[in-house]
Amino acid sequence: MSDISIPGVSSKYNTDKTIKALMEVERIPLIRMENDRDTFKEQKNAWLRLNTRMSELKDSSKKLYGFENPFNDKIAASSDQSSLTATASRSAIEEEKQILINRIAAADRFISKSLSRDYTAPKGLYRFKVGDKEVKFNFRGGSLRELADAINRKTGDILKASLVDDTKETKVIVIEAKKTGADNRLSFHDQALSFGEQAGIVERSPEAVLVVSLSVSSLKPWEIPLSEDSFALTEGVLTLNPRSELKIPLSRPVTITENMALELEISTTIIPEEEIEIKLKPEGPTIPDVGGIEFKGIRVQSARSKVELPELEPPEPPERISDMKILFASDRGRVHSLPEVKDSEKFYTLHFDADELPERIDSLNFRNRNTHRIIHIKNIKIFDKTARGDYRPVNPLSTAHDAVIIMDGIEVVRSSNSIDDLIPGVNLTLHSSSEDPVNLSIKRNIDSIKDSLIRFIGYYNQLHTRINILTRRDESIIEDAKFLNEDEKERAHSELGLFQGNLTLNQLKSRLQRIMMNPYPTRGKRDLSLLAHIGIATNAGRIRGGAAPDKSTLLGYLQINEEKLDEALLRHADWVKDLFGYDTDKDLVVDSGAAYAIDTYLNSYVGTGGIVSNRVDNLNNSISGKNRKIDAYNKHLDDYERELKKKFGIMEGALDTLEKSSQAIENFNRQYNR
């Protein structure tokens, strides 16, 4: 038996190839199980991505009718944003305001003289005050840079210091308060004051403030005699009665420089008409008693005189005078009229800057020409606005003062350029003074509403596309979805028709379409009850001029007519709001509207224990079950392969033995046949 061989056994007989072929046949069930598992995974991922799209639509719908719906958003538009900007909260009222910015608030900002680069700031206790807040720190002495760093490090949100190289050999230090307003003036104390004088930041100025004394001896007649009943002086308050005047000479003439100002407090009292004594009729002449005689107890009265007196006509009532020009400043007999005052039962501060005053003042004059108004005055002073006690800044870059604006004819003073307590729900930010009133319009934020609606419709169409991809095998669906990027298109091709015929998804698509086409109750009633009334619609199924309908509309995608939407929002924004969420029974809970219906319906899909969650759980169980079967079958394949190798090994051994026996027989026969 020479060359005995069995095909496929061992390398000599191609045993490995035979085992591999047998294993491939045995592996077929495994491949089926792995394919099933991969399909389950693909379905699971598809449901998860679908869940993301549904969640996006649900969230965007909730925002259209919930507490933070955009229909309550307000916007404040300024006609001059270089002078005034504003932000409006949802609580703001739609209205128009006119605001004239006379002056914005500023903070103290002082600069030193030029100092050499090797200038050394002295050591000691540096103490600064900004308004009623005080900061202090010990400085060991050092360069200007070290002092500036110490100020910035130790004074927090009160002060700021910076250095500027004004020349190649010198530098200046700028020290500024971080808070604006007249009440937040910066002052130097202890070693800080010594440094300030030495560095040329501040200088002594004991005459920086002149307080005008109010005493009986300081009051002088002006153009008419001064009588005791024309004025009163009580506890520092000068009361000027109607039809009276006086002047107060200053203790010294004051030259008005650009930083000077005059301030006083003033109030008025209106005299009621019934308290003004007016004699409507004169008494006229008196006719004496005619008398009589008496005789023996009998009284005989003389007849009354028959003199005819002319009928007296009452005189014209005295003229009622109202004159708000009360204040005057005098310089060597030349009288300068100051701006008019206003009526106020409470004292308010009148402030006059240098440009409202004459170049020199030697007396202040007061004239009350009114017949029905009493004037009260107190706390008169002429001062240098830059002064801080007995010191004033040498070269201030800016000085602390309040913002002054006039809104709807009313003067408003604030210490900050950010004003949030003037118009409810509106925060004003002042940037610069304005020559003309700035128109501020507070209105509904139409752009915010449009953006939310466009986002809502976008999420609706994206979800619709996902459902179409999963339930249909039309590749043009993917090409028509312009919002998909290349990776998303590639994934969409792999998912195309994955859930074809799925009843759940087809019902979802159909229900969403009905929700978006249904009528809803609104305050506009029949005039606005459909999304189509505001330009949101689909032309699905409509054929124009006999032509085939647009394919995208047949797929159920919504389109927006922006012109129609803009018109609806401008004319009836509240009606549009009702269309997406409306409280029909007035119990303060929304119970109707397209967005409300979408949000409510999708709860059954994306909520805990919803349809998607259950589908994913079932698929996870299927995947786990397949993995267990795959693991078990892989173990079976390993065992099966070992068994094949064992059996083929035994077979190879038997064949080798047979082959050796055959060779032995052949050798024996040769020897025997010789």
Query: pLDDT tens digits for 602-644?
Result: 999 998 889 999 999 999 999 999 999 999 999 998 988 888 8
DSSP state of 363: E
SS (H, E, C) 496-561: CCCCCCCHHHHHHHHHHHHHHHCCCCCCCHHHCCCHHHHCEECCCCCCCCCCCCCHHHHCCCCEEC
Q: Residue 292: is its pLDDT beyond 90?
A: no
Mean pLDDT check: name the lowest of 2-11, 388-397, 591-600.
2-11
- Which homologous superfamily is 207-272+320-385 in? Galactose-binding lectin (2.60.120.430)
Q: What is the mean pLDDT of residues 181-207?
A: 91
Tokens at residue 121, please? Answer: 């700031």
Query: Among 34, 44, 57, 40, which residue's Cα sits nearest to residue 511?
Result: 57
Tokens at residue 586, please? Answer: 């007035």
Strand partners of residue 1: none
Cα gap 347→349, rounded to integer Å: 7
DSSP state of 257: -
Q: Which residues contact 612 (CB under 8 A, 6 or more apart)?
A: 47, 48, 50, 51, 54, 605, 606
CB 62 within 8 A of CB 593: no
Q: Residue 221: is its pLDDT beyond 50?
A: yes
Backbone φ and ψ for 538, nearest 5 degrees, come out as: -125, 145
> Where are the alpha helices (H) located in 220-270, listed in sequence order?
none
Mean pLDDT check: name the lowest of 187-201, 291-305, 480-494.
291-305
Q: Which residues contact 37 (CB under 8 A, 6 or more apart)?
A: 622, 623, 626, 627, 630
CA atoms within 13 Å, Cβ hemisphere of 459: 23
Q: What is the mean pLDDT of residues 520-543?
A: 82
pTM for this model (two decimals) = 0.67
- Angle made by CA atoms 607, 609, 615, in degrees to the nearest 5: 100
- Hey, is 381 helix, strand or coil? strand
Q: Residue 11: is its pLDDT beyond 70?
A: no
Higher pLDDT, 113 or 478: 113
The predicted pLDDT at position 548 comes to 44
352, 537, 597 from 513: Cα distances, Å: 70, 10, 11
Mean pLDDT check: name the lowest of 67-71, 195-199, 428-432.
67-71
Tokens at residue 233, please? Answer: 């002086």
Amino acid type, 259: N
Q: What is the mean pLDDT of residues 452-456?
A: 94
Tokens at residue 315, please? Answer: 């005189």
Tokens at residue 18, please? Answer: 């035979």
Q: Residue 261: is its pLDDT beyond 60?
A: yes
Q: Residue 311: is its pLDDT beyond 80?
A: no
Cα gap 621→617, rounded to integer Å: 6
CA atoms within 13 Å, Cβ hemisphere of 196: 30
